[in-house]
Amino acid sequence: MMLTVAMPKGRIFTEALVLLKQAGYDIPDDLEHSRKLMIDVPNEQLRFILAKPMDVVTYVEHGVADVGIAGKDVLLEEERDVYEMLDLRISPCYLAVAGLPNTCVHPIAPRVATKYPNIASTYFREQGEQVEIIKLNGSVELAPLIGLAERIVDIVSTGRTLKENGLIELERIVHVTSRFIVNPVSYRMQDRAIEHMVDRLTYAIEKAGESNEN
């Protein structure tokens, strides 16, 4: 039976393909450049669904994909009913609070713009700070520049985007890597195939770790 794998487009997809090849999967070299949104690899009994990062966990939760690869940031934000089986240790980054230097924060309820309203709300609540969360879908760095918010919560990889927009990192919230996730029903129905995939990926991760140490 074919396993359906939901994969996010972009950097995670590129790094995940490398990891799958290191795990011994015979993946076509042109897969990364295909414009198709559903791609079968019959010789490996795999079907790939390419989706936006936030949609991957939805596909896996609802069972249209058996397994998937998603960033820990998405899992924390979405809180979906999926099994988090493995830290793939790819696409490392972190969630951070940022803003303009010497910003005068509103004394009652500072405004925070973010793509991650749940994570941001939880974080500031744990800090004992009352804030107003403004949900944005893109260009979060613009919010402090136009006066929409005093601070932002966003993913940071190199920090280049913050720097180019005159923002500085104020606090780090959580480290993020990509995770291998599984639909609970699929895990019961196809446990052997899924465990086999987990074992192969685990081996590849450990080998990559040994190479980095050397």
Domain containing residue 122: CATH number: 3.40.190.10
Residues 105 and 171 both lie in one domain: yes
Inter-CA distances, 71 with 2, 16, 138, 189, Å: 24, 11, 17, 25
Residues 118 and 165 both lie in one domain: yes
Domain membership of residue 77 as a residue range: 3-91+177-213
- Helical residues (DSSP H) of the chain, grouped into ranges: 11-22, 53-61, 72-78, 117-126, 142-146, 160-164, 184-189, 191-213
Tell me the pLDDT tens digit for each residue of 140-154: 999 999 999 999 999
Residues 10 and 53 both lie in one domain: yes
Residues 62 and 122 both lie in one domain: no
Given the DSSP bridges, would you call strands 83-87 and 178-182 parallel, antiparallel or unpaired?
antiparallel
Residues 103 and 128 both lie in one domain: yes
The residues that bridge with 168 in the sheet, in sequence order, are 99
Amino acid at 212: N
Inter-CA distances, 115 with 51, 59, 79, Å: 17, 20, 15
User: What's residue 212's pLDDT?
Assistant: 63
User: What's residue 168's pLDDT?
Assistant: 95
0.85 exceeded by pTM: yes
Residues 130 and 168 both lie in one domain: yes
Q: In the predicted model, is pLDDT for residue 69 greater than 80?
A: yes
Residues 150 and 194 both lie in one domain: no
Residues 146 and 41 both lie in one domain: no
The pLDDT of 133-145, averaged and rounded, is: 94
Residues 149 and 200 both lie in one domain: no
What's the total number of domains in the chain?
2
What is the spatial distance between Cα 111 and Cα 113, in angstroms, rounded to a whole number? 7
Residues 97 and 87 both lie in one domain: no
User: What's residue 211's pLDDT?
Assistant: 63
Quick one: CA dihedral 153, 133, 147, 105, positive or negative? negative
